[in-house]
Structure 1
Amino acid sequence: MPWQWVGYAFGRTLPSTMTDWVANDLTGNHAVVRHLIRGQVPFLPIYAVFMFFPGELWLRGSMVLLAVLLSLFFTASYMEENRQRRLVRHMLPRDLTNSRKAQESELVKKRYLAAHPESEASRTAAAPIAPGREH
């Protein structure tokens, strides 16, 4: 299993018997933290190479820190695209979401519409604008 997870971190597809695990990994609680950690695995060899560069330890550590910050930035920036790609590769719906978060979102929407019924009426009464005809 650890080698499967490393392969998964590098983008490999897991066996179909692990589809439920993949769905939970990509949409379950703490999926963002897991994504950021998983996104660091491919960079570990680069971090190790930086530690062998000549120079003071603080300088090499600074290089690693900069690389970690940059990789975290890009990992977070493309999180949704990577999540969708992994879902599709594992034969799961591209728009799969966390059921708890979807329920909370629906509850917030219902509360808002109950507090502001005019917003729903104005949205449904407005005629849709044809594509390419915006002002």
Structure 2
Amino acid sequence: MTRTTPTLWQRLRYLTGATLPPSMSDWVLADLTGPGATRRYLLRFLVPVLPVLCLFLLVPGPLWMGLSMMALLYIPLIYFTVALTYVYRRHRLVSHGLDPALADAEEQARAEAERAAYEARHQRG
């Protein structure tokens, strides 16, 4: 029997960039494009960095200095993580042998619905 969801070890490897077997393609697709995909992506990139950044709090000096050093690194990380969400999603789909167009399937469906509503409103088509 082939597994359709990853084991704990496979999930940890997946979080670090490894690919999963083809039998888990549906799980990968749901993880990358399903509800909560953006939230999971942001948590995977932004939370593990926090303990490392907290080391700046050990630097001698006032608290604001350690916090500002953390912010100098964390704010750009947040910015680039959000900016590269789409690129990362497409890359992970391709690395698992899935169509990268699935990354924006929700936007395509929304655009088609808007176009159909527009055409219905203006008696076109």
TM-score, normalised via structure 2 length: 0.72
Match of 1:51 in 2: 57
How far 1:88 sits from its partner (Å)? 0.6
Q: CA-atom RMSD, angstroms?
A: 2.8
1 CA distance for matches of 2:59 and 2:18? Answer: 31
1 CA distance for matches of 2:85 and 2:116? Answer: 28
How far 1:78 sits from its partner (Å)? 1.2
Q: Of 31, 35, 42, which aligns to 2:37?
A: 31
- For residues 15-94 of structure 1, the aligned pairs below 5 Å read 15-40=21-46, 43-44=49-50, 46-94=52-100
2 CA distance for matches of 1:78 and 1:103? Answer: 22
Alignment deviations for residues 19-38 of structure 1 (CA, whole Å, 9 cap, x no partner): 22211111111222112112
Contact 1:9/1:41 (<8 A) preserved: no
Runs of 5+ unmatched residues, structure 1: 121-135
TM-score, normalised via structure 1 length: 0.68
How many residues align structurally?
119
| Aligned residues with identical type, % of pairs | 37
Runs of 5+ unmatched residues, structure 2: 1-6
